[in-house]
Structure 1
Amino acid sequence: MKNLGSVIREVRKSKALTLKQVAGSELSVAFLSKVERGDSDIALNNFLIVLKTLNISWDEFFYVANGYQGGNRLKFIENVKKYILEDNVYGLQRLQSIEAKACNHNSKYHHFNVIIIDLIISQIQHKQFKKEYVTELQTYLLNVENWGIYELTLFNNVMFCFPTSVLSLLLDNATKKTIAYRHLPQYEELLMIIICNNLEITLQQKNIVRAEKIVAQSKEIYRDKRISLSNMKFKFLQGILMMYTGNVDAGKKLVVGVIDACYVLGDDEQANSFVKYLNGSTNFEI
């Protein structure tokens, strides 16, 4: 784990805050500077003051301190993804049983894990989602004060269960309630993955007006120009949207450019998935 002082400095600089702004009226700039350099320890009460002025939760701070490695909550999500890729319903059910037994220790998160698996199994087996489960997740995500990595990951893995109107509202929540963490590494990328997945669902529903709003919204949020999966997928889906709105030639050019770029970068699997989506989910061919 990183030194606490160096993490305080990393978060402070990522949010463009000065030592004076973080120290506020309760701590001295000199003391905070020593803490950041590792020349002084920090008492718990002062550490909590720093968290408050940085506007970051305890969990999020230690997520950064651990080098952006997820704790048990995120490891659970990774296990779920593994079983989904394997089409392993038995594995999901076994994991659900483990989470159900752990509910007494940390009822909220383990209970949510039970719900997540139930919804995913229902989707795999083409069964109706339990309305009370969908409502419970919706209520939590709408009312939690700030969306951290956990909330973003939770939403990304259950967005398939929400109706369009709720999905739209939750995406707005995701963009507004992560603003305090937006400059931290991985937040923007994860938020953009959510936007891409949301855009994909919206295009499948042929809700063009909503899709255009999502694209406009994402341009205000996403300023990272590095090559990434979310960046490529966003441009690909943007090309699909352009074709749906009548700008077929420009849309095809963008889509082909993204697919070709994937092949050039050696990501044949991603390129093939884009081609499969184009041929299977739209009426367009390239």
Structure 2
Amino acid sequence: MYFGKEFRKIRQNRAYSQSEVASSIISQSAYSKFETGIRDIDASIYLQLLNRLNISAEEFDYVRNGYSYGRKQNLIHKLFSINYNHMELLRSLKQQAVNFLEEQYDQDIKKVYLICEAFIQIHDTKDIEKAQNIVDPIWRDMSKYEQWYLNDIRIINTILFLFPVDIAIKFTETILIRLDTYKDFRDAPRLKIAFKINLSLLLIKNKDYVIALKIIENSLQYAKKRMDYSLLALHFSREAICKANIQGEGSSEPLKKARQLLTFYEDYDYWERIQQEFNHYTS
């Protein structure tokens, strides 16, 4: 597939000449032929040219598709942004995955389908074991990988709570180390925060309240500015759960912070879910 036309639009918008973009990467004449669709370029040159234009491959693909994700990327993006308690959206995404797979098999879209089906089964049957069996092929495939990349890590984060607690804790510790290699790469720091807060709940379920509290306090200390309001409120509520179980007191202040934050943003449904979680783990 030739992308020269899109490169030309971006180059002209940036007021670059062909020679400025091509300099030290590819000859100007070869670049000109690329823009006009006469020749293609290899992947390494493609990435260098994008870097010269100061645009990522992901953004370029988004712009090239008319400022929207391609069909596959759109389904994957929906999976990571969807509210898993919203059954109508989950069923719709599942059907879209089915439609895609009927036209062509794709391993990533198969994962989208299985994850949707697992969450739907949990909602309809409350059968965690059945949901675990549904996503088991995902884990069996991913356990063979020598390294996990960001999309793999996002998928694991989505279904982490379906693993046995001891295994989930072990995997999370490995993933947190892996995420250190990404440092400030895009949303990797936020993903690390999400794993830490998920790890805190696993530890709470395992009654390891002291360790969970340390993880929460560490995450709050170093990542408070990176959190959105809902994630920050969740940190406060988990802090309250730990303190209530460790000390029997001291939980009112962090829980009050969570309530004030969610009230300010008028997210009353989320505040109700946080209260339910607090009551469940402190009763």
Is this a same-fold pair by TM over 0.5?
yes
The answer as to 2:271 corresponding to 1:271 is yes
Alpha-carbon offset, residue 122 of structure 1? 3.0
Taking a change above 3 Å as real, the CA distance of residues 129 and 232 of structure 1, as seen in their structure-2 partners, is same
Q: Pairwise mapping of residues 217-232 of structure 1 onto structure 2 (< 5 A)?
A: 218=219, 222=223, 224=225, 227-232=228-233
Counterpart CA distance in 1 for 2:197 and 2:185 is: 20
Alpha-carbon offset, residue 238 of structure 1? 1.6
- Contact 1:203–1:241, Cα closer than 8 Å, also in 2: yes
Question: Any idea what SS the aligned residue of 2:126 has?
Answer: coil
Taking a change above 3 Å as real, the CA distance of residues 132 and 96 of structure 1, as seen in their structure-2 partners, is same
Q: What is the match of residue 11 of structure 1?
A: none
Alpha-carbon offset, residue 88 of structure 1? 7.4
- Contact 1:63–1:69, Cα closer than 8 Å, also in 2: no
- Contact 1:262–1:271, Cα closer than 8 Å, also in 2: yes
- Contact 2:196–2:215, Cα closer than 8 Å, also in 1: yes
Q: What is the match of residue 169 of structure 2?
A: 168
Counterpart CA distance in 1 for 2:281 and 2:159 is: 21
Q: What is the match of residue 76 of structure 2?
A: 74
The answer as to 2:148 corresponding to 1:152 is no
Question: Any idea what SS the aligned residue of 1:248 has?
Answer: coil
- Contact 2:101–2:109, Cα closer than 8 Å, also in 1: yes
Task: List gaps (5 residues or longer) in structure 2.
Answer: 1-5, 8-22, 26-34, 50-55
Alpha-carbon offset, residue 77 of structure 1? 0.9
Question: Any idea what SS the aligned residue of 1:224 has?
Answer: helix
The answer as to 2:115 corresponding to 1:119 is no
- Show CA shifts across 1:160-206 (max 9, x none): 22111221122123322233433134332233233323423442443
Amino acid at match of 1:72: N
- Show CA shifts across 1:43-87 (max 9, x none): 535347869xxxxxxxx84168749976234244168647x4136
May I ask how many residue pairs the two structures share in their alignment?
244
Amino acid at match of 2:114: I
Counterpart CA distance in 1 for 2:101 and 2:152 is: 20
Counterpart CA distance in 2 for 1:138 and 1:220 is: 32
Greater Rg by CA? 2
Amino acid at match of 2:273: S
Amino acid at match of 1:269: D
Q: What is the match of residue 183 of structure 1?
A: 184
Alpha-carbon offset, residue 237 of structure 1? 0.9
- Contact 1:146–1:178, Cα closer than 8 Å, also in 2: no
Q: 2:44 aligns with which of 46, 53, 65?
A: 46
The answer as to 2:87 corresponding to 1:86 is yes
Q: Pairwise mapping of residues 19-34 of structure 1 onto structure 2 (< 5 A)?
A: 31=24
Question: Any idea what SS the aligned residue of 2:130 has?
Answer: coil
Counterpart CA distance in 2 for 1:144 and 1:69 is: 32
Counterpart CA distance in 2 for 1:91 and 1:224 is: 34
Q: What is the match of residue 193 of structure 2?
A: 192
- Show CA shifts across 1:104-139 (max 9, x none): x34321222232133223322123337665443334
